[in-house]
Amino acid sequence: MTEDTRPLAGRELLLVVGGGIAAYKSAVLVRELQRLGAGVQTVLTAAGARFVTPVTFAGLTGRATRTDLWDPSHPGELHIDLTSRADALVVAPATADLLARASLGLADDLATTCLLAWQGPLVLAPAMHPRMWHQPATQEHLARLRARGATVCGPTEGPLASGEVGMGRMSEPEELAKAVCAALSAPRDLQGRRVLVTAGPTHEPMDPVRFVGNRSSGRMGFAVAERARDRGATVTLVTGPVSLPDPQGVRTVRVRTARELFDATVPEAPHHDIVVMAAAVADYRPADIAPEKIKKTQGELVLRLVKNPDVLAELGARRGDQPLPVLVGFAVESTDLVTYAREKLARKRCDLVVANLAEHGFEGADNLVTLVRKDSEEALPRLPKTAVADKILDAARELLAARHGT
Ligand code: CTP
């Protein structure tokens, strides 16, 4: 017999379907979760049952859809039995009302009693009208649920049931299924921690259409941000110009130049436990930005460059002797990798330098790095960037634990 290698093989999921038009997409989500190997038990709220019927999900799952806390056909405590059997709880669509009730711990129907009895990985797929999404009440409830460890996937921007376009569409089933896989695979060891990550290149303009930049794709920093999120952290990502979409569940700030990256990062850093400077910040920028496009002439063009602020060095200097945040820098070198990395570690007063040779890294999906600390170094094998991100976070978490004495 061959082993079942599907990512959710043998996993049991409890899917709560709330009352929103996106409930029709939850039927497709069931199929996707099953395709990945999971067994799915559905709970439909009273409002949810107005949009789709229990029969829809019973037909898809081969199990009775549960709707009633007082179901006479179930002899025990239904909410306790359902939550005891599941490996993860998924709420899709998570309406504004369900989020509020989950945040407050209200429990007056089957869905909310399940939520209150739940202790494992929780994936929320919010869906609502943008006006409800943007309400401080909704955002406060979500922030509270996130801080308690929930994975929030979506919503996304796009056409809505009302005919308007805005933020509020439920994430697509494939995205949600990925979030469920990640929530089940990651340790929750950064729960309650705040992580700030910078990523991508910076573009330093020389005229309205040209800039000085570098080849950083942003993938390494995005991988760190996504894994920190999967491991339970609240994550801020400050990124230069890259072609990657904002990661789900990560507050993403887009910047262009080194000075913008400095302004977005330096005041934020003291509010975080770990700062990972994966951005390839341009060391220099054109001294002057021509107001009009520079026209070519017969002769040479000489571009004068001036120094940019060094964000990581500034963070190291400002932190001084304080233990936090743990500071992680990157170093790309062409020779003497560890010697230069260790010199950078001391000069920029950071705790860990992720060093790689210029011929590795940048655009690929893999990376070959050495983790350099004050008193140790660890050469990692070639790994996917996601795995490298986990190694970096393992090391940062160790440093954090040593400082907290936990
Ligand atoms: N960095 C930064 N601000 C800069 C330049 C770099 O914060 N203006 C950060 C990067 O994000 C990275 C680390 O510093 O984490 C290493 O950058 P690098 O350019 O290699 O360091 P330098 O000190 O400029 O060394 P080199 O002389 O090798 O360029």
Q: Are strands 370-373 and 377-379 parallel, antiparallel or unpaired?
A: antiparallel
Q: Which helix (H) or strand (E) holds 276?
A: strand 274-277
Structure tokens at 82: 């359902």
Of ligand 1's atoms, which has the minimum distance to the CA of residue 258? 8
- Going by C-alpha positions, the residue among 333, 395, 325, 322 that lies closest to residue 360 is 333
Residue-level pLDDT at 362: 58
User: How remote is the CA of residue 23 from the centroid of ligand 1, in Å?
Assistant: 48
Structure tokens at 103: 């945040």
Structure tokens at 257: 């130049």
Residue-level pLDDT at 230: 87
Residue-level pLDDT at 228: 94
Write out the E strands in 178-325.
194-199, 204-205, 211-212, 234-239, 251-254, 274-277, 284-286, 305-307
Domains of the chain in sequence order: 3-185 (3.40.50.1950), 194-404 (3.40.50.10300)
Residue-level pLDDT at 405: 57
Rounded-to-integer distance, Cα 44 and Cα 61, Å: 13
Residue-level pLDDT at 249: 81
User: How remote is the CA of residue 288 from the centroid of ligand 1, in Å?
Assistant: 22
Cα–Cα–Cα angle for 373, 379, 381, rounded to 5 degrees: 145
Beta bridge partners of 123: 90, 151
Q: What is the 3-state secondary structure (H, E, C) of 322-340?
A: CCCCEEEEEEEECCCHHHH
Q: Count Cβ neighbours within 10 Å for each residue of 251-276 and write b for 16 or more, e otherwise.
A: ebbebbbbbbbbebbeebbeebbbbb
Residue with tokens 């089940």, as numbered in its chain: 184
CA-proximal residue: ligand 1, atom 20 (nearest): 331
User: Is there an atom of ligand 1 within 6 Å of 330 CB?
Assistant: yes
Q: Are 270 and 325 in contact (CB under 8 A)?
A: yes
What single-letter DSSP state applies at residue 270? G
Model-level pTM? 0.77
User: How remote is the CA of residue 249 from the centroid of ligand 1, in Å?
Assistant: 28
- Cα–Cα distance list, 125 to 53, 82, 122, 151, 248 (Å): 20, 20, 10, 9, 11
Residue-level pLDDT at 395: 97
User: Is there an atom of ligand 1 within 6 Å of 258 CB?
Assistant: yes
What's the residue count for the chain?
Answer: 406
Structure tokens at 389: 């991100």
- pLDDT by residue for the chain (406 residues), tens only, comes to 677 889 999 999 999 999 999 999 999 999 999 999 999 999 999 999 999 999 999 999 999 999 999 998 888 899 999 999 999 999 999 999 999 999 999 999 999 999 999 988 999 999 999 999 999 999 999 988 987 889 999 999 988 888 888 999 999 999 999 999 999 987 889 988 999 999 999 999 999 999 999 999 999 999 999 999 989 899 999 999 999 988 878 999 999 999 999 999 999 999 999 999 999 999 999 999 999 999 998 899 999 999 999 999 999 999 999 999 999 999 998 899 999 999 999 999 999 999 998 876 556 778 899 999 999 999 999 998 989 999 999 999 999 999 875 5
Q: Are 93 and 20 in contact (CB under 8 A)?
A: yes
User: Is there an atom of ligand 1 within 6 Å of 331 CB?
Assistant: yes
Work out the burial of residue 387: count CB atoms within 10 Å of its CB; fewer than 13 is exposed, 13-18 middle, 19 or more buried. Answer: middle
Query: Which of 274, 283, 318, 362 to mutate for ligand 1's pocket (most ligand atoms within 8 Å of CB)?
Result: 283
Rounded-to-integer distance, Cα 255 and Cα 263, Å: 9
User: How remote is the CA of residue 254 from the centroid of ligand 1, in Å?
Assistant: 19
Q: Catalytic residue numbers?
A: 214
Alpha helices, H only, 118-239: 130-133, 136-147, 173-185, 219-230
Structure tokens at 161: 């049931």
User: Is there an atom of ligand 1 within 6 Å of 283 CB?
Assistant: yes
CA-proximal residue: ligand 1, atom 3 (nearest): 310
User: Is there an atom of ligand 1 within 6 Å of 18 CB?
Assistant: no
Of ligand 1's atoms, which has the minimum distance to the CA of residue 313? 7
Query: Which of 238, 310, 340 to mutate for ligand 1's pocket (most ligand atoms within 8 Å of CB)?
Result: 310
Coil vs helix vs strand at 402: helix
Of ligand 1's atoms, which has the minimum distance to the CA of residue 311? 7
All residues at 6 or more sequence positions from 75 whose CB lies less than 8 Å from its CB, including other chains: none
Rounded-to-integer distance, Cα 342 and Cα 219, Å: 24
Q: Is the peptide bond before 245 cis (omega within 30 degrees of 0)?
A: no
Q: Are strands 352-357 and 370-373 parallel, antiparallel or unpaired?
A: antiparallel
User: How remote is the CA of residue 372 from the centroid of ligand 1, in Å?
Assistant: 15
Residue-level pLDDT at 360: 64
